[in-house]
């Protein structure tokens, strides 16, 4: 980064400080991870210079012969990783991928049935402040107050009542696996399309650690960071029954194009312009890494570490939504401890422990305060933490939360956090591209 340091020392300094923060803190935000050096190098390459509107072999610009190969590699690796018939790797984000899916499956004013944001759903699944809740008519299912889990009988009842055009699955703060076949049966019963947004759990699904939505759902979207450990971006997939599945979709939607062309055109030109070729190349790198046997071992450890955290918190008297986890995250309800999510996040941050405040189902606080915190295992697992280290992570979190405004306690924990981080080095700034 010599050129950046010389040309723009202000930005260089910001990157240097952020690198230090990542090196010296516990990164426990469930939607974050650490990309490999190879992935970061691809993102920082000259591919950022290339405009490539369109798709490989069908671009609107010349000079795309090399980026075409990169995009083809990304698509083929994604299809192999998820046993898919179709992959579109151009979406700039998970939200962009979701916007394209709405264009294919929905008309303005159509009803979407999705998981309530306040119960762990996602902003783009019908929140009234998001395009998905502004352009379309959102209806919601939730979790049960006593179990923190989705009751599929109530989902069926709601679907029969509101007659949705599409049912969405997926969440940003749901700690249990999904019964895709039960959702499929409900969708078929009411004549709805079925969409899974696996942004949080894609890596676990690819490794066979969670149920697979691709054989069951009409379409699947995901981000490429989080558990997939790639660059920030999005992707759309269709399972290995895609030809039949999307052929039906195209006919139902009144489209005359081939099903894959319908989805492609919803991304470009439907909702985006030129793709980010440097990010697509980085996606290809990450998918290649995910096809290695080590990735399966990593995902198993992600899941084991999350389970260890859940058990340790419950042993220390904390209430967890759904009393545990099937995936990479836990949702801690702090009301029994007399704490808010806002206070917990701020105190932990000063101690070098990064989490995010999060609404819990049936929360009594506002979204700006919340009664809970969301904690994930992917990033520290990437760093090399195992179950023993995560037990220590929980101990340190508990130490802070017992005295969240005691600066001596916070300083002591911050010192211990740095000592642990030094044992598991992440990036060497001097050699980071």
pLDDT in tens, 150-179: 999 999 999 999 999 999 999 999 999 999
Contact (Cβ atoms closer than 8 angstroms) between residue 203 and residue 34: no
Model confidence pLDDT, tens digit, residues 371-430? 999 999 999 999 999 999 999 999 999 999 999 999 999 999 999 999 999 999 998 644
What pTM did the predictor assign?
A: 0.94
pLDDT band at 220 (very low <50, low <70, confident <90, very high): very high
Q: 197 an active-site residue?
A: yes
Predicted confidence (pLDDT) per residue in 255-294, tens digit = 545 778 889 999 999 999 999 999 999 999 999 999 999 9
The pLDDT, as a whole number, for residue 277 is: 98
Domain at 301-423, CATH class: alpha beta
Q: Which of 78, 98, 117 is nearest to 197 (CA)?
A: 98
Instruction: Give the residue extent of every domain in the chain.
Output: 41-291, 301-423
Mean pLDDT calculated for residue range 3-18: 95
* pLDDT tens figures, 291-342: 999 999 999 999 999 999 999 999 999 999 999 999 999 999 999 999 999 9
Tell me the binding residues for (6S)-5,6,7,8-tetrahydrofolate.
117, 121-123, 366-368
CATH number of 41-291: 3.40.640.10
Work out the pLDDT band at 242, boundaries 50, 70, 90: low
Is 53 annotated in the active site? yes
Which residue carries 């470009």 as its tokens?
A: 268
Whether 216 and 194 have beta carbons less than 8 Å apart is answered as: yes
The answer to whether residue 51 is catalytic is yes
Catalytic residue among 71, 197, 209, 345: 197
Contact 280, 89 (CB under 8 A): yes
32, 53, 179, 185: which is the annotated catalytic residue? 53
DSSP labels for 30-64? TT-----HHHHHHHTSGGGG----EETTEESSS--
Identify the pLDDT of residue 431.
Answer: 46
Strand spans (E) along 75-218:
84-88, 111-115, 137-141, 166-169, 193-197
Is residue 333 flagged as an active site residue? no
d(C-alpha 86, C-alpha 237), whole Å: 6
Please confirm, yes or no, whether 177 is among the known catalytic residues.
no
Task: Return d(Cα 217, Cα 240) in angstroms, integer.
Answer: 11
Mean pLDDT, the chain, rounded, equals 94
- The stretch 123-131 carries a mean pLDDT of 95
């Amino acid at each position: 980064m010599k050129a950046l340091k010389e040309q723009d020392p202000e930005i260089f300094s910001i990157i240097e400080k952020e690198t230090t923060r990542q090196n010296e803190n516990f990164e426990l935000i469930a939607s974050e991870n650490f990309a490999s050096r190879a992935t970061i190098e691809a993102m920082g390459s000259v591919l950022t210079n290339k405009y490539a509107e369109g798709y490989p072999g069908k671009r609107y610009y010349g000079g795309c012969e090399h980026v075409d190969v990169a995009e083809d590699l990304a698509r083929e690796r994604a299809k192999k990783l998820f046993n898919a018939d179709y992959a579109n790797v151009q979406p700039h984000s998970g939200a962009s991928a979701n916007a394209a899916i709405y264009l294919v499956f929905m008309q303005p004013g159509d009803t979407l049935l999705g998981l309530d944001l306040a119960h762990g759903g996602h902003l783009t699944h019908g929140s009234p402040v998001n395009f998905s809740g502004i352009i379309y008519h959102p209806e919601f299912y939730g979790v049960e107050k006593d179990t923190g889990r989705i009751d599929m009988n109530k989902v069926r009842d709601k679907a029969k009542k509101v007659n949705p055009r599409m049912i969405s699955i997926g969440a940003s703060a749901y700690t249990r696996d999904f019964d895709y076949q039960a959702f499929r049966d409900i969708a078929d019963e009411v004549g709805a399309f079925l969409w899974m947004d696996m942004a949080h759990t894609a890596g676990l699904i690819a490794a066979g650690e969670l149920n697979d939505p691709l054989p069951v759902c009409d379409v699947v979207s995901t981000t490429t960071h989080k558990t997939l450990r790639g660059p920030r971006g999005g992707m759309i997939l269709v399972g290995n029954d895609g030809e039949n599945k999307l052929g039906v979709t195209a006919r139902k939607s009144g489209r005359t194009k081939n099903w894959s062309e319908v989805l492609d055109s919803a991304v470009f030109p439907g909702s985006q312009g030129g793709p980010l070729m440097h990010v697509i190349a980085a996606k290809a790198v990450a998918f290649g890494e995910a096809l290695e046997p080590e990735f399966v071992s990593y995902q198993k450890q992600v899941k084991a570490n999350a389970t260890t955290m859940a058990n340790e918190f419950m042993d220390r008297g904390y209430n967890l939504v759904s009393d545990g986890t099937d995936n990479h995250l836990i949702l801690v309800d702090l009301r029994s401890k007399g704490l808010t999510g806002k206070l917990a996040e701020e105190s932990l941050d000063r101690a070098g422990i990064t989490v995010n405040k999060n609404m819990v189902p049936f929360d009594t606080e506002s979204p700006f305060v919340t009664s809970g915190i969301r904690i994930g295992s992917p990033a520290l697992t990437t760093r090399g933490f195992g179950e023993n280290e995560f037990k220590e992570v929980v101990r340190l979190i508990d130490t802070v939360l017992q005295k969240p405004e005691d600066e001596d306690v916070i300083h002591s924990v911050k010192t211990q956090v740095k000592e642990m981080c030094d044992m598991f080095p992440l990036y060497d700034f001097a050699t980071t591209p």
